[in-house]
Amino acid sequence: MFKGTDFLQSVKTIKSLEEYIIHIDFASQEIFKSNKIWFRGHANKNYKLIPSIFRTKEYSIESEKNLTEEFLDKAKGFIAGQTFDNNEWYFLMQHFGLKTRLLDWTEGYLFALFFSLKLNKGDNPFIDPCIWIINPEELNMLSLNKTVIIRTNDDLNKTLISEYLNFQNQKEELPIAISPTYSNERVLRQKGCFTLHSGNTTINSVYKKYRSKKIVKINISYKERSQMLEQLKLAGISESSIFPDLEGLSRELNSKYKF
């Protein structure tokens, strides 16, 4: 069902929701032997597992620092009466679409499938999407030598996270898996979680470095995108359920009525 040397990849390209669930069950029971697994959907199977801020050719520490500081300077006027620490502000940046060092994952495999099938501006509709699967505790064992998930509401973990977000720290740490406090309904609905990166080291390279193949990729047929999105709707997974606001409802209706 899966093969590979640097990571395990589905032998066949998935063409239905049923096939997808069969592969998820196999990965959970036979590869990870755990239900503590995270999923990430990519619209393009060739995308690397790094945050979007490190994918841009124009990236520099200075430009990232300026981007972050300007957001903090201007955003506080939009959220009057609420106070956040630096780490909480960083998660808000990610939530509102600013490019950050965070990579989105989810604990729900149907959510991940939806995100892989959903086309955004610039996505090529003729390239197969994919789903990546990791065990967050194993990633942190490889990166930190600790079999834990980093919880953001713990004071010791806040210090660790701050080190990853320190623009003066030029040492590139290995990516870590973190589970945030659910500060907004979108993250709550999507069962959101993150990997935090200090540079352009991919998730794959961490496993390759330690010769672990317990990272899984499931390829989805782009030709079945519309059909599988319809199957997800029947399972209650749609724009308005994942994005519980008027923006999500509007996108769902636009799609329904072909606008």
Element (H, E) at 23: helix 17-26
State CA 79 to chain mean position distance: 25
- Say which amino acid occupies 196: L
pLDDT of the residue at 251: 57
pLDDT of the residue at 259: 46
Following CA atoms 103, 107, 112, 115 in sequence, which dihedral angle do they give, to the nearest 10 degrees? -60
Helices (H), 76-152: 86-95, 109-117, 136-144
Q: How many domains does the chain have?
A: 1
DSSP state of 196: E
pLDDT of the residue at 168: 76
Determine how β-strand 216-219 pairs with β-strand 8-10: parallel
Residue 136 — φ and ψ, nearest 5°?
-60, -35
Calpha distance 138→75 (Å, rounded): 36
The position carrying tokens 């672990």 is 212
- Say which amino acid occupies 163: E
| Tens-digit pLDDT profile for residues 22-33 | 999 999 999 999
pTM for this entry: 0.88
Residues of the chain with pLDDT below 50 are 248, 259
Residue 210 structural domain: 2-256
pLDDT of the residue at 89: 82
- Say which amino acid occupies 77: G
| Tens-digit pLDDT profile for residues 100-131 | 999 999 999 999 999 999 998 889 999 999 99
Cβ pair 55, 72 in contact under 8 A: no
pLDDT of the residue at 31: 96
Determine how β-strand 102-106 pairs with β-strand 130-134: unpaired
247's tokens: 């923006």
> What is residue 82's three-state secondary structure?
coil
Q: What sign for the dihedral angle of Cα 90, 95, 96, 100?
A: positive
Strand order across the 176-179 sheet: 2-3, 8-10, 216-219, 130-134, 38-42, 102-106, 192-196, 176-179, 150-151
pLDDT of the residue at 172: 81
How many Cβ atoms are within 10 Å of 105's Cβ, its own excluded? 28
209's tokens: 């470095």
